[in-house]
């Protein structure tokens, strides 16, 4: 088999969990994965770089943020089910900024990476143009579902404390 180009779908988690306010992750950032998933993606990237250096194969690494679209899974799907079932959520006062990525945009980047000369041996942290707060994201999702979002304005500090009490700190990030 003569593979000339390998496109690896990694994760923005290779870069870490947070950036300074208003500063997105870049391809030049020093990787700082925190959890097992981010660490495993970083290790896979490193192994692929070595393989490509030995074989001459071209590598394109794509580090998507949270991907949304048909077939979405995990926490994103859970939030959508809650919105669809009109379950009140304590996320009406979250003024963070989240980077998300439409599945269609990810597919476009993958297709571009297949043969674009400037994509060769590059790493692309990728997200949609505009970051949104969790509150705004849920409002937009509810609208897309043709529903009203029932978002309770609970302060973030109380959400984090509650998540810690039940051992679910990851859910409050």
Do residues 56 and 127 both lie within one domain? yes
| Mean pLDDT calculated for residue range 142-160 | 92
Q: For residue 32, is pLDDT > 90?
A: yes
Asked if residue 65 lies in contact with residue 101, where contact means CB atoms within 8 angstroms, the answer is: yes
Instruction: Report the 10 Å Cβ neighbour count for 100.
Output: 19
Residue 29: which CATH number? 3.40.50.720
Q: Strand 100-102 and strand 58-64: pairing? A: unpaired
Q: Name 61's bridge partners.
A: 8, 123
Alpha-carbon gap, residue 106 to 127, rounded angstroms: 8
Q: Whole-prediction pTM value?
A: 0.85
Number of domains in the chain: 2
Do residues 83 and 113 both lie within one domain? no
Do residues 25 and 88 both lie within one domain? no
Do residues 42 and 126 both lie within one domain? yes
Q: Which residues are catalytic?
A: 37
Domain of residue 141, residue span = 69-98+133-173
Alpha-carbon gap, residue 20 to 117, rounded angstroms: 32
Do residues 7 and 53 both lie within one domain? yes
- Least reliable range by pLDDT among 22-36, 93-107, 109-123, 134-148: 22-36
Do residues 47 and 88 both lie within one domain? no
Q: How confident is the model at residue 65 (pLDDT cuts 50, 70, 90)?
A: very high
pLDDT digits (tens, 9 = 90+) for 82-133: 999 999 999 999 888 889 999 999 999 999 999 999 999 999 999 999 899 9
């Amino acid at each position: 088999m003569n593979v000339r180009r390998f496109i690896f779908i990694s994760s923005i988690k290779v870069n870490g969990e947070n950036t300074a306010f208003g500063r997105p992750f870049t391809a030049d950032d020093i990787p700082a994965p925190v959890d097992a998933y981010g660490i495993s993606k970083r290790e896979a990237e490193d192994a692929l770089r070595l393989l490509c250096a030995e074989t001459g194969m071209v590598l394109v690494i794509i580090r998507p943020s949270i991907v949304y679209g048909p077939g979405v899974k995990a926490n994103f799907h859970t939030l959508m089910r809650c919105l669809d079932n009109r379950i009140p959520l304590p996320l009406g006062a979250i003024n963070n900024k989240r980077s998300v990525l439409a599945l269609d945009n990810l597919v476009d980047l993958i297709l571009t990476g297949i043969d674009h000369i400037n994509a060769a041996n590059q790493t692309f942290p990728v997200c949609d143009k505009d970051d949104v707060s969790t509150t705004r994201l849920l409002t937009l999702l509810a609208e897309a579902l043709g529903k009203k979002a029932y978002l309770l304005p609970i302060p973030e500090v109380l959400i984090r404390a509650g998540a810690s009490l039940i051992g679910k700190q990851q859910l409050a990030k």
